[in-house]
């Protein structure tokens, strides 16, 4: 494999990891927003019935969302580690 092929392989790996990082960050953002909506719903439930706003009931529990957030953060760390490994190899 010549230098041009190695450079091309490096760029392909880098681009794939960047895409993966962006996908995971997007999912983390959506989970974060769902957690905020869950907290807002919970706050409304603590108000007297006549002062509550009508909000949709969350589909997932807060614990489930927190677990998903932790999993996504773990995946993001794996992508970062892999990216650092490729840079060290190059």
Local mean pLDDT, 10-residue blocks, the chain (90 residues): 83 91 97 97 95 94 98 94 73
What is the spatial distance between Cα 85 and Cα 90, in angstroms, rounded to a whole number?
Answer: 9
What is the token pair recorded at 81? 């580690």
CA distance 89 to 26: 28
Torsion of CA 83, 87, 88, 90, to 10 degrees: 140
Which pLDDT does position 90 carry in this prediction? 58
pTM of the model: 0.82
């Amino acid at each position: 494999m010549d230098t041009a092929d190695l450079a091309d392989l490096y760029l392909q790996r880098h681009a794939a990891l960047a895409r993966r990082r962006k996908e995971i960050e997007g999912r983390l953002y959506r989970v974060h927003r769902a957690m905020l909506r869950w907290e807002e719903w919970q706050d409304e439930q603590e108000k007297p019935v006549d002062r509550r706003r009508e909000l949709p009931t969350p589909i997932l529990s807060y614990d489930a969302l927190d677990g998903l957030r932790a999993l996504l953060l773990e995946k993001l760390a794996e992508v970062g580690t892999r990216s650092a490994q490729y840079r060290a190899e190059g």
